[in-house]
Amino acid sequence: MGDLFGHRGHLVRVAALFAAGLVAFFILRVLFVPEGFGVYGHFRAGAIEENRVRPVTFAGRAACVECHSDVPEAMKGGRHAAIRCEACHGPLAGHAGDPAEKKAVRPDSKVLCARCHAANVARPAGFPQVEPAEHSAGEACTTCHAAHKPGLGEGGTK
Amino acid sequence: MSTDRREFLARSGKLLLLTGAAQVAFEAVLRGEPEAAPNYKIADHWWAMTIDIEKCIGCGNCVRACKEENDVPREPFYFRTWVERYHVPDGEIERPQVDSPNGGYDGFPEKYRAGDGSKNFFVPKLCNHCAHSPCVQVCPVGATFESPDGVVLVDKTYCLGCRYCVQACPYGCRYIDPRTETVDKCSLCYHRITKGLTTACCETCPTEARVLGDLKNPKDPIHEFLRTHKVQVLKPQMATGSKAYYNGLDGSVR
């Protein structure tokens, strides 16, 4: 027993070294591990929030209909009824936020309609397709068709 | 920054009692992030997407909308989502001809003739938001991860740009943004879906070929779709736990 206490200096030095190592570990850990790391897994929890905070560019149909409630009425029963506004009119979150300053632009029907309705063998067979050059010879589609409610009969065509 | 005695004691008490990791976790729990965000409970969602190939008309609306919404470089052509055109002559599903001019951004100029005995169709592609993502597994720094609501996201402040994940993704869904030299990919419009909107691609899809779904919401129509359609995921043999469910997926699709 006497020997052990006689050499206690060794034990104290080892213990002090261990404690210093522990303190150094915690200090380095606080310095190098970013906040929130490990809350949900091997990543920063804050990154989820950072992915959320970006502004939107497409306002969504609900925002459009708040002012333009007449359009869904006009589209009702037509073959375009399920298409959301911004599919054709483009991103309009800016317009929805400030309707006076940022105006929406009327799309060019010759370009717009052809994107979906120009004949292409890869399109589903039942989907309405035309050869634009043969079908209208450069005339704007909206001369004959109502874009919001196309098709023949039941007020679909202009 | 001043620290009073009470605060100092509380902090050092926590440091002594808890391990470092537990302390960090405890603080986040106290802050309540990100569950504290209004009206969005991260644990209540599990996002997925259904893609109906029989409805896709290859208009490219999704590609254009995605670039607008997510500030994807217009040129050179990088994509978070793109559309491929498959041309399978004489039912040779082992050798399909696939093209995707500008990812479908400018549509698909007619290239094949009708009635030549081939099969032609469009396949929209995007991040499959795998539940067991190879890309997440290879990230050395934890800069990409599966969020608790099932979306594979990127931590841009933490990404080194090492490109491991670009190689690991079996679906080719990642690119290095030349402006930041960090990786970018489909975030399933996380900034939109957590606000109650749908993704930009689903919002603008005129035929509802792509539909966002929440598998944890029992009232979501995705359950009905998955029950009534014969769906498949891409590369099921890789067991990635993909959550992009394709209806009408042909055997030739890679």
Q: Quick one: pLDDT at residue B163?
A: 96
Banded pLDDT at B77 (limits 50, 70, 90): confident
Banded pLDDT at B34 (limits 50, 70, 90): very low
Q: Quick one: pLDDT at residue B23?
A: 54
Q: Give the pLDDT mean for B76-99.
A: 92
Report the percentage of chain A scoring pLDDT > 90.
Answer: 77
Q: Quick one: pLDDT at residue B22?
A: 53
Question: Domain map of chain A by residue range?
Answer: 2-52, 58-105, 106-158
Q: Give the pLDDT mean for B106-127.
A: 93
Reduced to 3 states (helix: H, G, I; strand: E, B; else coil), residue B210 is strand
Q: Quick one: pLDDT at residue A108?
A: 93
From the CA of B46, how many Å to the nearest CA of chain A?
Answer: 15
Q: Nearest 5°: CA angle at A74, between A70 and A76?
A: 115
| From A2-6, A52-56, B40-44, B127-131, the region with the lowest mean pLDDT | A2-6
Q: DSSP letters along B144-182, please?
A: EEE-TTS-EEE-TTT-----HHHHH-TT---EEETTTTE
Question: Domain map of chain B by residue range?
Answer: 1-31, 45-254
pLDDT at A5 over 50: yes
Nearest-Cα residue of chain A relative to residue B144:
A43
pLDDT at A122 over 60: yes
Report the residue count for chain B: 254
Task: Evaluate whether A124 touches B55 at the Cβ level (below 8 Å).
Answer: yes
Q: Quick one: pLDDT at residue B33?
A: 44
pLDDT at B245 over 80: yes
Banded pLDDT at B3 (limits 50, 70, 90): low
Q: Quick one: pLDDT at residue B11?
A: 73
Report the percentage of chain B scoring pLDDT > 90.
Answer: 78
Q: Quick one: pLDDT at residue A153?
A: 54
Q: Give the pLDDT mean for A54-75.
A: 94
**CA B146, B147, B150, B153 torsion: positive or negative?**
negative
Per-chain mean pLDDT for chain B = 89
Domain B45-254 class, CATH top level:
alpha beta
Which residue(s) pair with B211 in the sheet? B50
Q: Nearest 5°: CA angle at B193, between B192 and B194?
A: 90
The answer to whether A47 contacts B54, with C-beta atoms less than 8 Å apart, is: no
Chain A positions touching B28 (Cβ under 8 A) are 35-36, 39, 45
- The token pair at B171 is 């679906």
Task: Evaluate whether A10 touches A2 at the Cβ level (below 8 Å).
Answer: no
Q: Quick one: pLDDT at residue B29?
A: 45
What is the rounded CA–CA span in Å between residue A5 and residue A154? 105
Residue B14, chain A, CB below 8 Å: the answer is no
B204-226 confidence digits (pLDDT tens): 999 999 999 999 999 999 999 99
B137-184 confidence digits (pLDDT tens): 999 999 999 999 999 999 999 999 999 999 999 999 999 999 999 999
Q: How far is CA B190 from CA A9, A50, B59, B154, B200, in A?
A: 60, 10, 24, 11, 10
Q: Quick one: pLDDT at residue B30?
A: 42
Chain B positions touching A60 (Cβ under 8 A) are 192, 197-198, 203
Interface of B with A in 201-230 (CB under 8 A): 203-208
pLDDT at B18 over 90: no
Three-state DSSP string of chain A: CHHHHHCHHHHHHHHHHHHHHHHHHHHHHHHHCCCCECCCCCCECHHHHHHHCCCCCCCCHHHHHHHCCHHHHHHCCCCCCCCCHHHHHCCCHHHHHCCCCCCCCCCCHHHHHHHHHECCCCCCCCCCCECHHHHHCCCCHHHCECCCCCCCCCCCEC
The torsion angles phi and psi of B124, rounded to 5 degrees, stand at -75, 140
What is the rounded CA–CA span in Å between residue B146 and residue A139? 50
Banded pLDDT at B17 (limits 50, 70, 90): low
Q: Quick one: pLDDT at residue A4?
A: 57
Cross-chain CB nearest to B54 (options A38, A90, A124): A124
Q: Quick one: pLDDT at residue A9?
A: 86
Q: Is A138 left (phi over 0), alpha (psi -120 to 50) or beta?
A: left
The answer to whether A43 contacts B20, with C-beta atoms less than 8 Å apart, is: no
Nearest to B130 by CA among B109, B144, B140, B143: B144
From the CA of A68, how many Å to the nearest CA of chain B?
Answer: 17
What is the rounded CA–CA span in Å between residue B116 and residue B109? 17
The answer to whether B28 contacts A39, with C-beta atoms less than 8 Å apart, is: yes
Cross-chain CB nearest to A39 (options B25, B87, B112): B25
Q: Quick one: pLDDT at residue B7?
A: 76
- The conformation of residue B236, written as its DSSP 8-state character, comes to G
A17-59 confidence digits (pLDDT tens): 999 999 999 999 999 999 999 999 999 999 999 999 999 999 9
Chain B positions touching A30 (Cβ under 8 A) are 20
Banded pLDDT at B44 (limits 50, 70, 90): very high
